[in-house]
Amino acid sequence: MRILYLDLDSLRPDHLGCYGYHRNTSPHIDRIAEKSVRFTNYYCSDAPCMPSRTALMSGKFGIHNGVVGHGGTAADMRREGASRSFGDRLRSESLPGMFRKKGYKTASISTFAERHSVWTFNAGFNEIFNNGGQGHETAEQVLPIALKWLNDNADNEDWFLHLNFWDPHTPYRTPDELGNPFANDPMPEWITEDVFQLHKQKKGQHSIEDMNKLAKTHYFRHQRHGTQIEQYNDLRTIIDNYDCAIRYMDDHIGQVLNKLEELGILEDTAILVSADHAENMGELGIYSEHGTADQGTCRIPMIIRWPDGGNQGTVDEGLHYHLDLAPTLADLIGAPKSKDWDGISYADSVTSGLDTGRDYLVVSQCAHVCQRSVRFGEYLYIRSYHDGHHGFPKEMLFNLQDDPYEQYNLAEERRDVCMQAVYLLNEWHDEMMSTMEYDVDPLWTVMKEGGPFHAKEYAVIEEEVRV
């Protein structure tokens, strides 16, 4: 089986046509989705980039693998310690390691490991292609490497290729020649003039106020970020830039699909489309950032086109973590699963359309804030341990069915639902702490080391601005 995993940084599902978006951002991803299972309630367990991909590749929650932030002690994977053998377990029990143990050739085209100095991400790959861009490369710099690899390996019947595009990650660096194909398209309906006025009053990282500062101090090198957000219609700058980045990336994904077709292997190749995290576009008053444990940051796309008995054109609405992927793929290719993985296979959802979703999810963020959230029923409960200088209350509760963009905090009026969420959070935490060799929750390590890495960085910048 040939398997292509498209890891598309900062991609939120509701900005894709196949998830109902009104703009034509993703014709080639939509083409994949037509013959796929599309998952609508799929979440990264830990956000943002480094914790998410560490959880994905290790098959373990951040509380277990130790990586929950972008700096300090909690940015390093826990060691195996005295039980470590000549080689560690990660080389065979990681997601790519599982494939290699089964006899697959494994390769990653990504700069991710160097960007965050997370070298454990490379465990299990036969080949690693790093163009040196450290996550600042655009799709046209990644594509030639991918096309050459496909040419070189077309005759190999068993491979797993991890292909990473960064374009939807802020700052948006889409080349000028794309122009703006969305200049005449309306913005999302929920972002009204009233919402804009509320968001203008917000303080903190990647608020509208902060975005205007960043345009002058950090993003001025990128032409698409030059506009100050002063009036309601100026918000188009942010929305359009993000959508242009998706469209530009999608154009290059189309060239990957064309290459597979040219080589005669498109129909026999399994294709997965997902992301490490998404991108807040107004949720909690935050734009162009992935710094919270909420729907905007943690809900990600998952599209699986599985040619060997997979369902086509179906939708799965169950609750799943991205770290459920390792046991799922193990079941689909008949490989053994690690007893240390935290994931639960949803292979039956891919092949038979069965409901394999979980009863609830707990998602974490410790890089910009320290939050843990519970996703259950129609609700999202967010508990903040460090607010990242956003002014968040300790508890927030949102009814995602009525309020999918998290504008109305129901925590005070629905204490009964909050108590239910806290029970589920404690149930999850008890299970996590009872199934690990360490008695330290890395969230508290982050707190004791001065708080989330990016919150400390933001506080320094704010102090410099005041001075």
Q: Which long-range contacts (CB under 8 A, 24 or more apart) does 412-421 make?
A: 417/379, 417/381, 418/381, 420/376, 421/374, 421/376, 421/379, 421/381, 421/397
Q: Helices (DSSP H) in 35-167: which residue ranges?
A: 49-58, 62-65, 90-93, 95-101, 112-115, 139-153
Q: What pLDDT does 371 receive?
A: 98
Q: What pLDDT does 280 receive?
A: 98
Q: What pLDDT does 195 receive?
A: 97
The number of C-alpha atoms within 13 Å of 318 and in the hemisphere containing its C-beta is 21
Kindly indicate the confidence band of residue 467, based on its pLDDT and cuts at 50, 70 and 90: very low
Query: How far is it, in rounded angstroms, from Cα 39 to Cα 26?
Result: 16
pLDDT more than 90, % of the chain:
92
If you average pLDDT over residues 31-35, what whole number do you get? 97
Kindly indicate the confidence band of residue 223, based on its pLDDT and cuts at 50, 70 and 90: confident
Question: Is residue 42's pLDDT more than 50?
Answer: yes
Q: Which run of H or of E encompasses 380?
A: strand 379-386
Q: What pLDDT does 45 receive?
A: 98
Q: Which of 293, 368, 437, 327 is closest to 58 using CA atoms? A: 327
Kindly indicate the confidence band of residue 462, based on its pLDDT and cuts at 50, 70 and 90: low
281, 238 Cβ separation under 8 angstroms: yes
Q: Does the CA dihedral 422-428-434-437 come out positive or negative?
A: negative
If you average pLDDT over residues 195-214, what whole number do you get? 94
If you average pLDDT over residues 268-294, what whole number do you get? 98
DSSP 461: H
If you average pLDDT over residues 305-326, what whole number do you get? 96
Q: What pLDDT does 460 receive?
A: 60
Q: Which domain holds residue 189?
A: 2-466
Q: What pLDDT does 466 receive?
A: 46
Alpha-carbon Rg of the chain, whole angstroms?
21
Question: Is residue 194's pLDDT more than 60?
Answer: yes
Kindly indicate the confidence band of residue 43, based on its pLDDT and cuts at 50, 70 and 90: very high
The CATH number of the domain holding residue 369 is 3.40.720.10
If you average pLDDT over residues 131-149, what whole number do you get? 97
Residue located via tokens 């600042």: 136
Q: Which of 34, 35, 53 is closest to 44 using CA atoms? A: 53
Looking at the structure of the chain, the number of domains it has is 1
Kindly indicate the confidence band of residue 461, based on its pLDDT and cuts at 50, 70 and 90: low
Q: What pLDDT does 55 receive?
A: 98
Question: How does pLDDT run across 424-439, given as a tens digit for each residue?
Answer: 999 999 999 999 988 8
Q: Which two tokens stand for residue 279?
A: 């991108």
Question: Is residue 369's pLDDT more than 90?
Answer: yes
The number of C-alpha atoms within 13 Å of 301 and in the hemisphere containing its C-beta is 32
Neighbouring CB atoms inside 10 A of 389's CB total 20
Residue located via tokens 């029970």: 423
Tell me what the pLDDT averaged over the chain comes to: 96
Q: Which two tokens stand for residue 253?
A: 């994904």
